[in-house]
C-alpha cells in the first residue's frame, strides 16, 4: 500500500473552526473532513484520478443481517 502524504495546511482560524464543527457533525476527524471535501471537489470538477482508492471507513463495522442490536431488549 502506498504511504499517505502529509501536508502542512495553513488556514484562517475561523475556517478551521468551521471545518472542525462540520467534521464533528459528520462524525469525522477534521483531517478526514478536509480529505472528503477535496475528493468531492476533484470528482465534481472531473479531476479525480481513476486510480484513487476509496476513503477508508472508520468506526464500528457494519452489522451483519442476522446480528441483533446491542440496545434491543433480549427475549
Report the 10 Å Cβ neighbour count for 18. 12
With beta carbons less than 8 A apart as the criterion, state whether 58 and 32 touch. Answer: yes
Q: Band of the pLDDT at 69, cuts 50, 70, 90?
A: low
Q: Band of the pLDDT at 1, cuts 50, 70, 90?
A: low
Is this structure's pTM higher than 0.95?
no
Residue 29: CB partners within 8 Å, gap ≥ 6?
A: 23
Assigned C-alpha cell, 25: 457533525
pLDDT tens digits for 31-63?
Answer: 999 999 999 999 999 999 988 888 877 777 778
Dihedral of the CA atoms 43, 44, 46, 49 (nearest 10)?
-10
Assigned C-alpha cell, 27: 462524525
pLDDT at 26 over 60: yes
| Secondary structure of residue 74 in the 3-state scheme | coil
Amino acid at each position: 500500500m502506498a504511504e499517505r502524504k502529509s501536508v502542512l495546511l495553513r488556514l484562517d482560524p475561523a475556517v478551521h473552526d468551521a471545518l472542525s464543527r462540520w467534521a464533528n457533525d459528520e462524525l469525522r476527524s477534521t483531517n478526514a473532513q478536509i480529505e472528503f471535501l477535496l475528493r468531492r471537489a476533484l470528482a465534481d470538477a472531473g479531476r479525480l484520478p481513476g486510480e484513487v482508492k476509496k476513503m477508508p471507513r472508520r468506526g464500528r463495522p457494519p452489522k451483519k443481517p442476522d446480528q441483533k442490536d446491542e440496545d434491543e431488549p433480549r427475549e
